[in-house]
Amino acid sequence: MENQANTLFSSFDSEEITFFADLILPIPVPKLFTYRVPRGMADDIKIGARVIVPFGKKNGRVLTAIVAKLHNTPPATYQARYINELLDEIPLTTSYQLELFGWISEYYMCCIGEVMNVALPSGLKISSQSKVQFNPDFDYPELLTEFEEVLLTELKKHSALSYEELERLMGEGSNAAAIIKSLIGKKAIIVFEEVREKYVPKMVRKVRLNRNYEEREQLLVLLQRLEKLPKQQEVVMRYLSHVPLQRTPSLNQKGLDKTILNQDDELSQSSLSTLIKNQVFETFEIIQPRFSDNDAGLPQVEIKLTDAQRSASSQIMAQFESQNIVLLHGITGSGKTEVYIDLIQQALNSGSQVLYLLPEIALTTQIVVRLQRVFGDTMGIYHSKFSDNERVEVWKGVVSGQYQFVVGVRSAVFLPFDNLGLIIVDEEHETSYKQHDPAPRYHARDVAIMLAHWQQAKVLLGSATPALETYYQAKQGRYGLVELFQRFGEATLPNITLVNVQQEKKQKTMKNEFSSALLGALEANMERKEQSILFQNRRGYSPYMQCEDCDWTAECPNCAVSLTYHQRDAELRCHYCGHKESVPRLCPTCGSTKVKTIGFGTEKLEDQLQIFFPQSRVLRMDLDTTRAKNAYQQIIQEFEGGQVDILVGTQMITKGLDFDNVSLVGIFDADRLIHFPDFRATERAFQMITQVSGRAGRRAGRQGTVLIQTSNPQQPVLQKVIDNNYKGLYEEELKERQDFNYPPFSRLIKLTIRHTDRAISHQAAQRLAAELTDALGSSRVLGPEEPLVERIRNQFLFDILIKIEREKVNIKAVKTFIQDRINDILTDKGLRQVSIVADVDCL
DNA sequence: AGCACGCCGACT
DNA sequence: GTCGGCGTGCTC
């Protein structure tokens, strides 16, 4: 009997299939969540579409999720909830992206929801707002306070109100939130979540002539009728001057921006309204793409390659026959961009999509304008300085096919491409391709390589100073290698000279931070009306403030670092947590007046330049001067304009900037770059110094000059910079890396353990390190070790570094093992409040 | 992540 | 005696 019933029911079920969807939710929980698909949604729901789901105990909390899987297996241990709403008929994410999300979460040891969170522009995640409504079933079983009555009366006047609206209606300080709370308790009101898309298309109001007047005779009649109304006639004439519908009548349907017609005076505005009222004109609204205007006026330019560039381009194409990844090693100023453009055009002509990745700072108008001249509005731009609405438009433009080509930063690897033919990673060695703080801690170059792999696209990595790892792959034959060792046009590489600061100090020829050699060169350069760039990789005025009489140094109360003195704002600042305090006039411990600044940053250099060269114009470019939205652009444009003599900056001036008139580069404190306590310090120093030097003498004319101030000119890396000897540096570094089993011979995973109590942090780190050493061996596990800055925001840090060789090890299994050990610790009673972060392929 | 539930200090 | 602190556990 029972059996029969079951069969009956299951056959019944199979006809009315119940659908379930496994969803990616934007939360840091390492799994998918299963929801029921409402019957009416079953036909339309697709993998990759966004849905809205209720989540958590509190009824009303909703999240935007992505459909990862559709099936009909009910979950065994719980009752699945229903999906609320389907947002996309056409999925906004491709199957490639879902595969990519999965790969990233596995490889970089994070949750898939965290990947979704950084991948989707927040405009594609819906926002929900709590709204309050009068409960129609409420029949006053309880007494209400006076305030509650007032609020209820307000609510009855409206269908629903938000907390903010109620607050406003009730008056300032009315404590509406508390009243709402008590009314909820009395069941007098209902709270619900109103969900809406954040993305709002930009609408433009347009006008066009009524259809009747599109014909010539009718139009003449109209104009005649308006003879006596000159103002109205003028408006019509103005419209006709913008829309020549005599020649092309179809133009009328596109209409004209309303603002163009009533630009100047109020009279024409009222005339226009009259004309609209009399149905001569009609108004309508259209969606205006946010990018459409930007490039309208740019003339299309054809790119001509030099022989060297043409040869590089065809070598790359030839290598793509047998390699999926090619490294273009081209010296600074060799004109790699033209080679890229040539390859991009070829890829686009073959009908596939192209992605061009650049580090944030290099993605200025300089490069964008150049590309727009060639590709016009088929090119999308994906930049973190763009608004969310703009990013959603690029996203949708990629889905719709409007943008076959996108130039963008790190996060552009998450765009919904489905037919990539070519990915270019420019300035491939740039560390800003690695995301540091929120998970996923991904490297855009490596993600790009995976993305290309799935879509059978080719990858071109470009750099004047390739990452050691990349060059190694090329040397091993796993990547192709093409070299471009000739500067563009007549230009030659700059002449690099070392300036011995120790010696000048002895001879007393230093003026503050400036050697006489550098001052002389700056002066001569200004006389020639040529521009100079000065590089010091430290912002602020000085990194220390110290008392000469006692040992007191200004320190951050929350972090284990000294405070940096910022003269412009007359304050001491912590560069780790943002703590600020005023500058003490007297030493806080001994009361001495001899409180001095020690060391120098960009601000101090800027200051001293004004003293040495009062006539000169100096600009500073660092984090502090580029906070504002368009600050980069402004500084770069101003410097390009030529009214500025000297640009002082931190590493952000090293990245791909291209100025015609710069012939001198000065580098301060090269020693600090070289002696940074990190196994990559030499490589970094070489890259940084070579890159800044490359800003000099980029156009034919005079050879550029680079002066490097150092206390020890004997350091081998400096000689290699002078000789532009990348290969020498590579050989030497590689030996070191092999001896100590660092990348490219191993993969690194850094675990950072954090807690407000140093003892607990240390205990957790030690236990974790011990367990890992046990399983992996002591040669693979380093630490725990206190990092250089051992306390940040009052959290005590410990690092464990894991080195796993590249060959013959199941790295996936190792990661799983590490994650399991981390989870063990996080479930331990005494240690569970520690935070442990894994950084795979840490830099 | 957010949110609720739950057990211990300073307050009407 | 309560309001609220944040430790703990869960979310389909």
**Domain spans of chain A, in order of start:** 20-124, 129-194, 203-287, 307-484, 495-540+601-735, 746-840
- CATH for the stretch A495-540+601-735: 3.40.50.300
**Closest nucleotide to residue A117 (Cα to C1')?**
B1
**Residue A631 contacts strand B, CB under 7 A:** no
Domain A746-840 has CATH 3.30.420.40: no
**Residue A58 Cβ under 7 A from any strand B atom:** yes
Give distance CA A561 / C1' C11 (Å).
Answer: 40
CA distance A294 to A390: 13
CA A413/CA A416 separation, integer angstroms: 9
Residue A482 bridge partners (DSSP)? A328
Instruction: Please tell me what DSSP assigns to residue A494.
Output: P
The domain made up of A307-484 has a fold known as Rossmann fold (3.40.50)
pLDDT score, position A139: 72
The span from the CA of A626 to the CA of A409, in Å, is 18
- What is each CA distance from A201 to A197, A236, A596, A695, in whole angstroms? 11, 29, 55, 41
Q: CA(A821)–C1'(C6) in Å?
A: 26
Nearest residue to nucleotide C11 when comparing alpha carbons to its C1'? A56
Please, what's the b/e burial string for A323-349 (b: 16 or more CB within 10 A of its CB; e: otherwise)? bbbbbbbbbbbbbbbbbbbbbbebbbe
Look up residue A115 and give its two tokens. Answer: 């990947």
As a rounded value in angstroms, the CA-to-C1' distance for A176 and C3 is 19
Q: Which residue has the tokens 């390589």?
A: A449
Q: How far is the CA of A190 from the C1' of B5 (A)?
A: 23
What are the backbone angles phi and psi of residue A421, rounded to the nearest 5°? -110, -30
Chunked into runs of 10 residues, chain A (843 residues) has average pLDDT values of 42 62 96 95 94 85 93 92 93 94 97 96 79 76 72 80 72 65 73 71 82 82 84 83 78 81 71 86 79 57 86 96 96 90 96 95 78 89 85 94 95 97 97 94 98 97 96 97 87 89 92 92 92 94 92 90 93 91 90 90 94 93 87 87 92 83 93 94 96 84 89 94 95 96 96 91 94 94 92 93 92 94 87 91 95
**What is the rounded CA–CA span in Å between residue A38 and residue A44?**
11
Q: What is the pLDDT of residue A221?
A: 85
Say which nucleotide is closest to residue A55, CA to C1' distance: C11
Compute the radius of gyration of chain A from its Cα atoms.
Answer: 32
The nucleotide lying nearest A35 (C-alpha to C1') is: C12
Q: C4 C1' – A827 CA distance, angstroms?
A: 27
Kindly report the number of other CB atoms within 10 A of residue A183's CB atom. 24
Pairing of strands A795-805, A781-785: antiparallel
- Which residues, in sequence order, are CB contacts of A592 under 8 Å at separation 6+? A547, A548, A549, A550, A586
- Asked whether the beta carbons of A126 and A195 are under 8 A apart, the reply is yes
**A230 sits within 7 Å of strand B by its CB:** no
**From start to end of A241-343, where are the E strands?**
256-257, 281-287, 325-330
Which residues of A spanning 354-383 put their CB closer than 7 angstroms to strand C?
none
CATH of segment(s) A129-194? 1.10.10
* Interatomic distance A585 CA / B5 C1' (Å): 52
The reply to whether A181 Cβ lies less than 7 angstroms from strand B is no
User: Which option is the CATH number for A20-124: 3.40.1010.10, 2.30.40.10, 3.40.50.300, 3.40.1440.60?
Assistant: 3.40.1440.60
What is each CA distance from A816 to A110, A340, A714, A810, A841, in whole angstroms? 11, 40, 47, 10, 16
Q: Return the SS3 of A782.
A: strand
Asked whether A763 and A769 are in contact (CB, 8 A), the reply is no
Residue A173 has a pLDDT of 56
The answer to whether the beta carbons of residues A392 and A332 sit under 8 Å apart is no
* Nucleic strand C under 7 Å from the C-beta of A832: yes
Instruction: Give chain C positions with protein CB within 7 A.
Output: 7-12
The contacts of residue A6 (CB under 8 Å, 6+ apart) are none
- Give CA separation, A153 vs A150, A157, A552, in Å: 5, 7, 64
A185 touches strand B (CB under 7 A): no
d(CA A464, CA A427): 8
pLDDT at residue A185 in the model: 66
Distance A530 CA to C2 C1' (A): 76
Q: Give CA–CA dist A459/A743, Å, rounded.
A: 21
Nucleotide nearest to A60 (CA to C1'): B3
Check residue A177 and give its pLDDT: 64
pLDDT of residue A454: 95
CA distance A307 to A488: 10
Greatest Cα pair distance, chain A, in angstroms, is 107
- Check if A129-194 and A746-840 are the same fold: no
The answer to whether the C-beta of A28 is closer than 7 A to strand B is: yes
